[in-house]
Amino acid sequence: MFRKAHILGVLAATLAIAPGAAFAQQTSVTTQQNNQEANVLGTANTVVQQGSQYTNTHQLNINKGFYCSGGSQVAATAQGQSQSANVAGAYNTVAQIGNQAAQTAQTQISHGFGC
């Protein structure tokens, strides 16, 4: 019978040698922040602010073998956008346009005995 210390030692060594294989996890984290500010003073000024953000994430996890574990796939996307305009005067024009899009695809393929 194995002692607890021996089992924990083997487990720790396994995790130290192949932590990716032990947990088989994919993680993708994307953070985007877009800040725009305009200050206008005068007459007949035009300010155009346009901000666009796009995130595309694709994770592919292929498992094969005698015993395989699917693991987990984690994708997180955070997008922030702020636009401000301070206008003083007459006949000024301000146009603010903001676009944000995020696309995430996760594919897992498992084949083999025990999958």
Render pLDDT for 32-77 as a digit per residue (tens, 0 to 9).
Answer: 888 999 999 999 999 999 999 988 888 888 777 666 666 778 888 8
94 vs 18, which has greater pLDDT? Answer: 94
What does the block give as tokens for 41? 């003073």
Torsion region of 47: left, alpha or beta (phi above 0 gives left; psi -120 to 50 gives alpha): beta
Instruction: Name the 3-class secondary structure at 113.
Output: coil
Q: What pLDDT band is residue 18 in, cutting at 50, 70 and 90?
A: very low
18 three-class SS: coil
Could you tell me what percent of the chain has a pLDDT over 70?
70
If DSSP codes are grouped into helix, strand and coil, which group holds residue 37?
strand
Q: What is the per-residue DSSP string for 66-97?
A: SS----EEEEEEEEEEEEEEEEEEES-EEEEE
pLDDT at 107: 85
Kindly report the CA angle at 51 between 50 and 54, in degrees rounded to 5?
Answer: 140
- Distance between CA 90 and CA 87 in Å, rounded? 9
